[in-house]
Amino acid sequence: MNKALNEIIQVMKQTYNIDISMYDESFLLKSLGRRWGANQGNEAEKYVGCLEKSSAEAEAFYRSLNITYSEFFRNPLTFALIEQYILPSLIRQKPIGGEIRVWSAGCSAGQEAYSIAMLLNECTDATGNALRFRIFATDISETALTLARTGRYDQEAIQHVTLKQLHKYFSRENDKYTIVSELKEHINFSTYDLMDKYSANPPESIFGDFDIVFCSNLLFYYRPELRRLIIRKMENSMSVMGYLITGEAEKAFMQKEGKLEMLIPATAVFQTNKR
């Protein structure tokens, strides 16, 4: 490991009791480069001293590692596949009065969870099947979860939402758009640490058994052994013939380390094969 990076990991652990060793080395180096570049051109060695002297800088650096960016219908191709194939297939398999269960891991400010909720509501209405659906959306950041529970977004955030969805699922106040309570009722937002080795899924979900698991744009932040831990946790939480959806940049991880099969070539959608 890079010598300066190792020193920084030690400073964060010993001085501030913050463990950043879980993160992938290349991700840490990129994040550090942005921070010491923002601190008057400090090089790596000088930045170690900066962290030792400044708790404010240590906190700012740690916050920079917790990526909370998301958007509605972030990958149009993936969400088109969900709407046109995955949800109709799940609905056909479920008995009348059954339930579709979804886990949005690393949900950030809630856009992903609300996106799938809109599609689920539309698909169940269209089929007339009296299915229930429940989305368990988790994140390690309580700040992000507070924003998610509020469900209030600006004009820029809703640019991928259709006009029909905007009218149906949002209320508008000046330049802000808030998710309607009817949609919020289907989503449970809770704090959950994916690094927890003693739980297989969010406690609020009780038993897992998810038909769809989202773990998008998250895996590449972590060291390989922790990435494998997360992948195994996702796989074990899924229902028979369930679906796991990752980010485009994470397909290679799944193909190399996962046990699931890619649903369609070149997509980031994987499915269990437990026939």
Residue 17 lies in a domain: yes
Closest listed residue to residue 1, CA positions, set 20, 16, 14, 15: 20
Which residue range forms the structural domain that includes residue 191? 76-271
In a domain, 71, yes or no: no
Q: Judge if 99 and 230 occupy the same domain.
A: yes
Domain containing 142 — which CATH number?
A: 3.40.50.150
Q: Could you tell me which residue, 167 or 207, shows the higher pLDDT? A: 167
What is the rounded CA–CA span in Å between residue 212 and residue 81? 13
Query: 120 and 228: one domain?
Result: yes
* Tokens linked to 30: 């990129």
- pLDDT one-digit tens code per residue, 115-141: 999 999 999 888 777 789 999 999 998
Q: Is 70 a domain residue?
A: no
To the nearest whole percent, how much of the chain has pLDDT over 90?
A: 51
Chain-centroid distance, C-alpha 82: 16
Q: pLDDT digit string (tens) for 182-223?
A: 999 999 999 999 988 888 899 999 989 999 999 988 888 888
Kindly report whether the global pTM for this prediction surpasses the value 0.75: yes
Task: Say whether both 207 and 100 belong to one domain.
Answer: yes
Of 27, 45, 65, the position where a domain reaches its end is: 65
Which tokens sit at 56?
A: 């404010």
| Domain assignment of residue 244, yes or no | yes
Name the DSSP letter for residue 261.
Answer: E
In this structure, the answer to whether residues 50 and 133 fall within a common structural domain is no
As for how many domains the chain has, the answer is 2
Residues 162, 267 share a domain: yes
Is 35's pLDDT higher than 50?
A: yes
On whether both 108 and 58 belong to a single domain, the answer is no
**pLDDT in the model for residue 264:** 87
Per-residue pLDDT band at 59 (split at 50, 70, 90): confident
Query: If you average pLDDT over residues 43-52, what whole number do you get?
Result: 80
